[in-house]
């Protein structure tokens, strides 16, 4: 008799087949894929619940996300699929009601699966830099499309890349440069794919509570926030400007991010907001006005 592990591996493979058929061929359009996935998660198995099927599905999907380059148009197809699932609303059969919400309205288990995947940073053996960039791109695209708000992950990615390492005075050490080469590209994709959305959150001073607390460099610079803030936006911009003068990959990536921030500000077409901030460090110059700088 097959073991639970065998059943789980078979189910994961079945989900991957459905997702890959949708993603890489023209044999299955998005509506047919939604129908097939709904059928698969509700297939009768004595060894798992609906929650177990959803967990397997989301992990299979996130595995494909990590294998899909951030610049690939297939990323947009994956976003379209999540949007199509979510647009089904709450399925009426009682079997689709879970402890974490209603299928597909609440996308139950998806948040937990994303958090587990995101916790595998590029410093871990489970996640390459390319996979890390692809995952952050996917979350940024979902956020910009208004499907699921993953903007707190943008705060965490930018905190890791811009608010934790030391201030730039005489360049970077080899270790600092290697760390930024790993972390900065994934932070940049948030400006690329969700910049205008993020800028709106800046003007709203969107807070996530203690989970959104900014890093030590922000606090040392007098920037105190628990999420997006005008002061934090200006701090990110200043940090990227400093990094942009460096040679190599870090400088090029920072320069690109800085330009994307300017583009986000212009495309946002938002009125300036007065807010005074101070930058006490010699490596950070105070902006000329209190509005988000561009």
133 lies in the same domain as 217: no
87 lies in the same domain as 2: yes
74 lies in the same domain as 30: yes
CATH number at residue 55: 1.25.40
Among the three residues 149, 170, 195, which one is the final residue of a domain in this structure?
Answer: 149
Q: What sign for the dihedral angle of Cα 8, 10, 14, 19? A: positive
111 lies in the same domain as 158: no
Among the three residues 125, 149, 173, which one is the final residue of a domain in this structure?
Answer: 149
Query: Please, which residues bridge with residue 98 across strands?
Result: 101
131 lies in the same domain as 177: no
132 lies in the same domain as 6: yes
Q: What predicted TM-score, i.e. pTM, was given to this entire model? A: 0.86
126 lies in the same domain as 166: no
Domain that holds residue 253: 150-294
How many folded domains does the chain comprise? Answer: 2
User: pLDDT in tens for each of the 294 residues of the chain?
Assistant: 344 444 568 889 999 999 999 999 988 999 999 999 999 998 765 446 888 899 999 999 999 999 999 999 999 999 999 999 999 999 999 889 998 999 999 999 999 999 999 988 777 788 899 999 999 999 999 999 999 999 999 999 999 999 986 655 456 677 778 888 889 999 999 999 999 999 999 999 999 999 999 999 999 999 999 999 999 999 999 999 989 988 889 999 999 999 999 998 766 544 344 333 333 332 333 333 344 555
117 lies in the same domain as 177: no
Instruction: With beta carbons less than 8 A apart as the criterion, state whether 177 and 229 touch.
Output: no
CA-to-CA distance for 184 and 239, rounded, in angstroms?
11
**At CA 195, angle to CA 194 and CA 196, rounded to 5?**
100
Distances in Å between the alpha carbon of 51 and those of 8, 18, 203, 215? 13, 19, 38, 35
């Amino acid at each position: 008799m097959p073991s639970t592990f065998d059943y789980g591996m078979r189910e994961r493979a079945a989900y991957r087949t459905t997702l890959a058929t949708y993603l890489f061929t023209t044999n299955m359009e998005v509506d047919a894929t939604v129908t097939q996935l709904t059928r698969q998660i509700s297939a009768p198995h004595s060894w798992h619940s609906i929650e177990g099927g959803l967990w397997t599905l989301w992990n299979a999907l996130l595995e494909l996300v990590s294998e899909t380059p951030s610049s690939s148009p297939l990323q947009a197809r994956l976003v379209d699929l999540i949007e199509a699932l979510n647009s089904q609303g709450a399925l009426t059969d009682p079997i689709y009601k879970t402890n974490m919400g209603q299928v597909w309205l609440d996308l139950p288990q998806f948040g937990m699966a994303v958090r587990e995947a995101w916790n595998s940073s590029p410093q871990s053996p489970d996640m390459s830099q390319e996979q890390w960039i692809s995952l952050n791109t996917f979350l940024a695209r979902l956020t910009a499309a208004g499907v699921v708000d993953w903007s707190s992950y943008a705060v965490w990615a930018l905190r890791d890349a811009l608010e934790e390492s030391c201030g730039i005075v005489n360049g970077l050490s080899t270790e600092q440069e290697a760390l930024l080469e790993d972390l900065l590209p994934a932070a940049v994709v948030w400006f690329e794919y969700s910049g205008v959305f993020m800028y709106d959150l800046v003007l709203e001073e969107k807070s996530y509570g203690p989970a959104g607390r900014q890093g030590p460099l922000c606090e040392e610079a007098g920037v105190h926030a628990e999420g997006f803030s005008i002061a934090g936006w200006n701090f990110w911009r200043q940090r990227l400007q400093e990094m942009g003068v460096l040679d190599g990959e870090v400088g090029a990536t920072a320069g690109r991010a800085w330009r994307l921030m300017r583009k986000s500000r212009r495309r946002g077409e938002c009125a300036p907001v007065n807010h005074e901030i101070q930058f006490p460090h010699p490596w950070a110059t105070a902006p000329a006005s209190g509005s988000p700088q561009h």
